[in-house]
């Protein structure tokens, strides 16, 4: 029998809690953005909706401490600041910037971001893009 095993077949080294994953999401964050490539879209704010779905490593499973999780309120504030802080031409560009913002937190493994323009086509509720980015 290898030295690392006891007579009961357990490993002598301390047990490590299993790190799990959790999905954090914000859906349909309604914002006003200066976005678009067409002349009628420049210099005006348009209604958009931003949704993020994050796959996050649980660093302290079962913890009831806010510091142990990615805070959706803080994330929403950061997305609001990003959207209102600059003008972009494309929803793809905005989605990529939001995904990069989400991935700054090392616990975030994957970020799926959807950006929808809500008032572009009269016969469509929204148009937009959804992207997915992973850490590393």
Domains annotated for the chain, with CATH where assigned, are 21-134 (3.30.1130.10)
Alpha carbon separation from 102 to 65, 97, 110 (Å, rounded): 20, 9, 9
Confidence of residue 18 (pLDDT cuts 50, 70, 90): low
What's the order of all strands across the beta sheet hosting 108-117?
A: 21-33, 46-57, 108-117, 127-134
- Beta carbons of 78 and 102 less than 8 angstroms apart: no
CA distance linking residue 85 with residue 32, whole number of Å: 11
Amino acid 66: pLDDT? 76
Cα 102 from chain centroid (whole Å): 5
Amino acid 68: pLDDT? 73
Q: Indicate whether 5 pLDDT > 50.
A: no
Catalytic position from the list 79, 83, 117, 128: 117
- Beta carbons of 23 and 55 less than 8 angstroms apart: yes
Confidence of residue 7 (pLDDT cuts 50, 70, 90): very low
Amino acid 13: pLDDT? 43
Amino acid 62: pLDDT? 72
CA distance linking residue 76 with residue 127, whole number of Å: 21
Q: Indicate whether 92 pLDDT > 70.
A: yes
Q: Is 42 a catalytic residue?
A: no
Digit-coded pLDDT (tens) for 61-78: 777 777 778 899 999 999
Amino acid 67: pLDDT? 76
CA distance linking residue 29 with residue 77, whole number of Å: 10
Amino acid 65: pLDDT? 72
């Amino acid at each position: 029998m290898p030295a690392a095993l006891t007579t009961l077949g357990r490993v002598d080294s301390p047990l490590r809690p299993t790190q799990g994953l959790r999905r954090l999401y914000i859906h349909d964050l309604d914002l006003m953005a200066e976005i678009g490539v067409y002349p009628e879209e420049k210099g005006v704010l348009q209604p958009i909706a931003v949704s993020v779905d994050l796959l996050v490593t649980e660093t302290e499973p079962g913890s009831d401490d806010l510091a142990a999780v990615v805070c959706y309120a803080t994330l929403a504030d950061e997305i609001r600041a990003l959207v209102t802080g600059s003008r972009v031409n494309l929803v793809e560009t905005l989605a990529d910037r939001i995904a990069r913002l989400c991935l700054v937190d090392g616990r975030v493994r994957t970020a799926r971001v959807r950006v929808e323009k809500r008032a572009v086509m009269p016969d469509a509720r929204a148009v937009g893009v959804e992207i997915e980015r992973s850490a590393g």
